[in-house]
Amino acid sequence: MFAYTLRRLLQMIPALIGIVVITFILSRVLPGDPAIVMAGEQATDDVIAKIRMDMGLDKPLFVQFFSYVGQLLQGNLGFAYHTGHPVLSDFATRFPATIELTLASVIIAICVAIPVGIIAATRKESFIDHISRVFSLIGACVPIFWLGLLFIYIFYSILGWAPAPMGRISGDLNPPTHITGLYVVDSLMTGDMVALKSSLAHLLLPAICLSTGTMAIVARMTRSSMLEVIGQDYVRTARAKGLSETAVVGKHSLINALIPTLTVLGLQFGGLLGGAVITETIFSWPGVGGYVTDSILAADYAPIQAFTLVSAILFSFINLAVDLVYGLIDPRIRYE
Amino acid sequence: MKKLKWFSAMIALTVVLGGCASNANQQPAASGSGEETKPAPTLTVAYSEGGTTMDPAEANDLTSDTLVLATYDQLVTYGVKTVDGADVANTEDIQPMLAESWEVSDDNTMYTFKIKSGLKFQSGNPVNADAVVYSFERVSKSSSGSFLYGMADIKSVTAKDDSTVEIVLNKANHMFTQIIAMYTFSIVDQKLVEEKGDDYLKTNAAGSGPFTLEKWDPASEAVFQANNDYWQGAPKLSKVTLKFTKEASNRVLLLNKSDVDMAIEIPPKDVAALQENSNLTVKSNASNRILFFAMNNNVKPFDNEKVRQAINYAIPYDQLINDVMYGQAKEMKSAVASNTPGFTDAGYVYEYNLDKAKELLKEAGYAEGFSFDFTLGSGFDDWEYDAVLIQAELAKIGVKMNINKVARAQFLEQQKDGNLVSYISKWTSFVNDPGYHLGFLLYGEGSSNYIHYNNAEVNKLWEEAGAEPDQAKRNELYMKAQEIITTEAPWAYLYEYNRVVGMNNKVSGYVYYPDEVLRFYPLSKEQ
């Protein structure tokens, strides 16, 4: 297991080198000159030339590339001109918000979709099965931005149940003492019930909004893999042994059915990061998604490259984690 | 069972780990600490962008400018006048601020400023002549602000004594005092910056202004506290919070629910709905932001004056103002905004008249029409609607407009290259002066004259006006230039935007400035 993990970690290195090169080239061929965007419309040519020099854009491309790699090796992700901060400090303030939102969405998706998928499979063609099919179809089709605006309009504007879509916690409260940067976890850790209530209230709508697509896919996946497993011989044997229905479904079938579901969840993670960009903009959620959108609009290279790199690393680790969990669920897939 | 044990262990671990950290909300509602003296009210404003810098010399976006004006003072400032019951800045009326008075030499090239005595920066350091010299030097060396230094023709800035500053210009410049009233020329606490290092200014304030910066996170909010020792008197608000809310529809919702006291950049389509809410006031002022349809004077057929005039007759002006802008815009009748001193609509004869447009095309030798490329920059909804409506009208006179949509950054780059055949663009002149405005956009050598309009007479008038100290005579020259430009029609004038700010009825004291930046100091709010 350990050797396998190490091997997988080493395999990430060439992939990451590829990503560093590709994102560098991609960001440079993006149309638009960051110096012009930075300077504003009333800037003269010599001001733009000066900014270009400050940014190091006047140097040949390969020189720019090597200085970028050199910075990376020192753990420096570069400077975000459109916010006036180093990318690393921007990430430090924003990444926890995105992680919290994404994790909450995954948890909501799992808690809703897996039970729904199981029920739909075990009661095939029942009313519940049809309802879940309809909702999955809707969930997979509805654009996030539309759903987000609708949620805000209904739950905040009309009903007044949800707090104002402004950030992660009410303006009149202090954020919980910083430990992990995830407000919910931090307020639990410090026993800060006031902050917990407020941050959960702020988190709920965007998290549900972001999880709809994943929820739909995971529910359908759970249902179909459950159906496949239920028809297997060993399930028939379990029933014939006189095991209770709970044991048959919950233990023998579910564990085997979860493997494809896990794969889908892992793949969904990338989609969630993309969806977070839209969700964060709509809910004024101070995460990394809105930040990257702004960076792209301003042709600000460093944050775009850094985000792609960090996302790639995250994605690789999640893939690895998924593969390792396979082994925990099904001893036949242990890697040596 | 096993799972339950594991779970409770996790909870226990969380509590143990957390045991060493303190609860940040031990006393919730910390603001209400005792009711001996009622603190001044607080104000929350929904803003769009998060800003990029606190450094006055580098600030060049709306939010950064707002942050700077809240925390810094300048040598001089603009007066305020009342127009149609609304308070608006009077940019021609230059008032003392940190400088109590100034003298001008006979040839208008030397200004001697006397600084008010006893003024202090927020740090407690004295405001003195050295700090003024230092602040001006920072502007001259900056990236964003340095062009204004050149625009003001500043040659040298010297401290004559502790409270006297002498500024010498290369040549007489009537815009000089207007330019140094801008946020760029804020006076910076030299001693503090030298202690902390120059980067300190990027994220901290070092000024003498009415508010101190408590927190600024471009991702979520900026918080300002009143500077109660402010030399003009304590602000009427104890705290101002800017909430950065990119989604315009959310700004409208927040304002409607009174979760914010003010919201800027209200979309035109939402104005009517907000006006129905009796708790709110919507201030819609004619701004200096103009929108024009530019045609490259070097490219056929737009090198022909008659063709450009024909385009001017084919624009559905009323549709643009009423259907696209919901009436939150005003017709534009000169290259210069109608709020700018020296504006004239002389020479403006255009209206929506397709027969006239056809006639002009025929005279120009394009009876069959022609086809041309139009570049649409992204980021502004109204531009897109305008382009499509204009395209439809032009089609009726046989002119085919090929719309090519590009991202904002790409648009700015292509525009700068000066090869775009036609495009729509907006412009706000930071300095409310026709010389500044035309010098950028339509003077032959203008740095933002991307359509190569070059008329010898206009150039000559502009140069003469620049050297003319008498305002009335100067404006006469600018008016002549405007008339020629309007007749030759390098642009089609689309509209002047309104600056729309929504606020709760409890808020008062709002003053509109042509640079569209919100000043907090005049604002107050009923408890």
Nearest to B246 among A167, A186, A284 (CB): A284
pLDDT band (50, 70, 90) for residue B30: very low
pLDDT band (50, 70, 90) for residue B10: low
Query: pTM for this one?
Result: 0.86
Shortest Cα–Cα distance, B434 to chain A (Å):
15
What letters, b where the CB count within 10 A reaches 16 and e where it falls short, cover A220-245?
bbbbbbbbebbeeeebeebeeeeeee
Q: Across the strands, what pairs with B126?
A: B120
Q: Under an 8 A CB cutoff, do B408 and A179 touch?
A: no
Q: Does A78 touch chain B (CB under 8 A)?
A: no
Shortest Cα–Cα distance, A242 to chain B (Å):
23
Instruction: Give residue B520's identity as a one-letter amino acid code.
Output: F
CB-CB neighbours of B447 under 10 Å: 18
Preferred mutation among A284, A288, A295, A304 to probe B, highest tally of B CBs within 10 A? A284
What letters, b where the CB count within 10 A reaches 16 and e where it falls short, cover A270-281?
eebbebbbbbbb
| Set of chain A residues whose Cβ sits within 8 Å of the Cβ of B203 | 84-85
Q: Does A197 touch chain B (CB under 8 A)?
A: no
Average pLDDT over residues A176-192: 85
Omega of the bond leading into A260 within 30 degrees of 0 (cis): no
Q: Under an 8 A CB cutoff, do A39 and B143 touch?
A: yes
| Set of chain B residues whose Cβ sits within 8 Å of the Cβ of A90 | 219
Helix (H, G, I), strand (E, B) or coil at B155: strand
Which of B31-45, B87-101, B190-204, B507-521 has the weakest average pLDDT?
A: B31-45
Cα–Cα distance measured from residue B228 to residue B230, given in angstroms and rounded to the nearest whole number: 5
Nearest to B22 among A165, A175, A177 (CB): A177
| Set of chain B residues whose Cβ sits within 8 Å of the Cβ of A85 | 202-203, 218
Residue B385 has pLDDT above 90, yes or no: yes
Preferred mutation among A157, A166, A307 to probe B, highest tally of B CBs within 10 A? A166
Average pLDDT over residues B432-449: 93
Residue B400: its pLDDT value, please? 96
Average pLDDT over residues A296-308: 87
Nearest to B430 among A42, A50, A175 (CB): A42
In terms of Cα–Cα distance, which of B518, B523, B493 is closest to B507?
Answer: B523
Average pLDDT over residues B243-252: 91
Nearest to B21 among A190, A284, A286 (CB): A190
Q: Mention every residue, 6+ apart, whose C-beta is less than 8 A from residue A41.
A: B412, B427, B448
pLDDT in tens, A81-122: 888 888 998 998 888 999 899 999 999 999 999 889 988 888
Q: Mention every residue, 6+ apart, whose C-beta is less than 8 A from residue B103.
A: B111, B112
Residue B12: its pLDDT value, please? 54
How much of chain A exceeds pLDDT 90, in percent?
A: 16
Q: Under an 8 A CB cutoff, do A83 and B406 touch?
A: no
In terms of Cα–Cα distance, which of B459, B457, B452 is closest to B490?
Answer: B452
| Set of chain B residues whose Cβ sits within 8 Å of the Cβ of A30 | 409
**Cβ-contact A301, A27 below 8 angstroms:** yes
Residue B225: its pLDDT value, please? 96
pLDDT in tens, B330-352: 999 999 999 899 999 999 999 99
Continuous H helices in B234-286: 248-256, 271-275
Cα–Cα distance measured from residue B12 to residue B16, given in angstroms and rounded to the nearest whole number: 6
Residue B26: its pLDDT value, please? 67
| Set of chain A residues whose Cβ sits within 8 Å of the Cβ of B247 | 149, 165, 281-282, 284
Shortest Cα–Cα distance, A284 to chain B (Å):
6
Residue A306 has pLDDT above 70, yes or no: yes
- A267 against B57, higher pLDDT: B57
pLDDT band (50, 70, 90) for residue B35: very low
Q: Does A190 touch chain B (CB under 8 A)?
A: yes
Q: Mention every residue, 6+ apart, whose C-beta is less than 8 A from residue B31.
A: A172, B39
Average pLDDT over residues B16-27: 61
Q: Does A224 touch chain B (CB under 8 A)?
A: no
In Å, how far from its chain's centre is CA A125? 33
Residue A190: its pLDDT value, please? 85
| Set of chain B residues whose Cβ sits within 8 Å of the Cβ of A152 | 250, 253
Residue A254: its pLDDT value, please? 83
Q: Under an 8 A CB cutoff, do B18 and A188 touch?
A: yes
Preferred mutation among A41, A82, A152, A280 to probe B, highest tally of B CBs within 10 A? A41
Cα–Cα distance measured from residue B222 to residue B32, given in angstroms and rounded to the nearest whole number: 21
Q: Does A83 touch chain B (CB under 8 A)?
A: yes
Q: Under an 8 A CB cutoff, do B23 and A298 touch?
A: no
Q: Under an 8 A CB cutoff, do B144 and A47 touch?
A: yes
Preferred mutation among B3, B13, B25, B405 to probe A, highest tally of A CBs within 10 A? B25
Instruction: Give residue B52's identity as a one-letter amino acid code.
Output: T
pLDDT in tens, B387-431: 999 999 999 999 999 999 998 888 998 998 898 999 999 999 888
Tokens of B65: 């400018």
Instruction: Share the mean pLDDT of chain B.
Output: 91
pLDDT band (50, 70, 90) for residue B1: very low
Q: Mention every residue, 6+ apart, whose C-beta is less than 8 A from residue B334.
A: B343, B344, B345, B346, B348, B482, B485, B486, B493
pLDDT band (50, 70, 90) for residue B33: very low
Residue A261 has pLDDT above 60, yes or no: yes
Continuous H helices in B153-270: 176-180, 190-196, 200-203, 248-256
Distance, first Cα to last Cα, chain A? 6
pLDDT in tens, B481-510: 999 999 999 999 999 999 999 999 999 999
Instruction: Share the mean pLDDT of chain A.
Output: 86
What are the start-end ranges of the E strands in chain A?
Answer: 79-80, 85-86
Shortest Cα–Cα distance, A163 to chain B (Å):
9
By the 10 Å C-beta count (0-12 exposed, 13-18 middle, 19+ buried), B188 is classed as: buried
pLDDT in tens, A47-86: 888 888 888 888 898 899 999 999 999 989 988 888 888 8
Residue B409: its pLDDT value, please? 87
- A284 against B237, higher pLDDT: B237
